């Protein structure tokens, strides 16, 4: 493995750990030349997927593109990096289970929205606003009302409803 600092090819593995129930291996490495430490991750290369966009264009599946969208939606929200990684892993698992070489971008977006909804409601609305291209406040209101219609209302110990407007 090449050192990201000095580009030397000689590195030692200091520690190896399994992550995500063995789906990923994390290795802590040390360069023999500059002595700096860095981390690498190994995961099984998935079957190549092609994403069919709404306009009909096709592009290779890009895990990082999904991760960027989810990170943006979760910006300044109490969602851990580990949870974000798990969410992307779950989306990939669902896509691979479909056993198709091509997958629509709307299918990916729907999967992300469904999983993100259970993680953080604000992040869900943020993602939905970009994914569904809300044109006006009415569309945003509809999405929030849909979220509220499907969520149990939180109550206080006295039974009063919380977060009423």
**Per-residue confidence (pLDDT) for residue 46, from 0 to 100:** 59
Find where tokens 């929200």 sit: 77
pLDDT of residue 145: 73
Distance CA 79, CA 141 (A): 24
Residues in the chain, pLDDT under 50: 153-165
pLDDT at residue 165, rounded to an integer: 38
How far, CA to CA in Å, does 87 sit from each of 30, 80, 122, 163?
Answer: 30, 11, 16, 27
Quick one: pLDDT at residue 101?
86
Tell me which DSSP letter residue 47 carries.
Answer: P
């Amino acid at each position: 493995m090449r050192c990201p600092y000095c580009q030397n090819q000689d590195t030692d593995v200091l520690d190896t750990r399994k992550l995500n129930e063995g789906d990923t291996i994390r290795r802590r490495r040390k360069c023999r030349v500059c002595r700096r430490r860095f981390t690498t991750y190994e995961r099984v290369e998935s079957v190549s997927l092609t994403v069919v966009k709404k306009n009909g264009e096709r592009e290779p599946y890009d895990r990082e593109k999904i991760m960027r969208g989810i990170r943006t939606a979760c910006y300044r929200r109490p969602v851990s990096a580990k949870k974000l990684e798990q969410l992307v892993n779950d989306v990939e698992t669902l896509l691979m289970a479909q056993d198709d070489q091509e997958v629509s971008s709307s299918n990916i977006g729907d999967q992300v929205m469904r999983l993100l909804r259970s993680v953080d409601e604000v992040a869900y609305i943020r993602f939905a606003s970009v994914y569904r291209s809300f044109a006006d406040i009415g569309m945003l209101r509809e999405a929030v009302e849909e979220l509220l219609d499907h969520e149990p209302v939180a109550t206080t110990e006295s039974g009063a409803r919380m977060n009423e407007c």
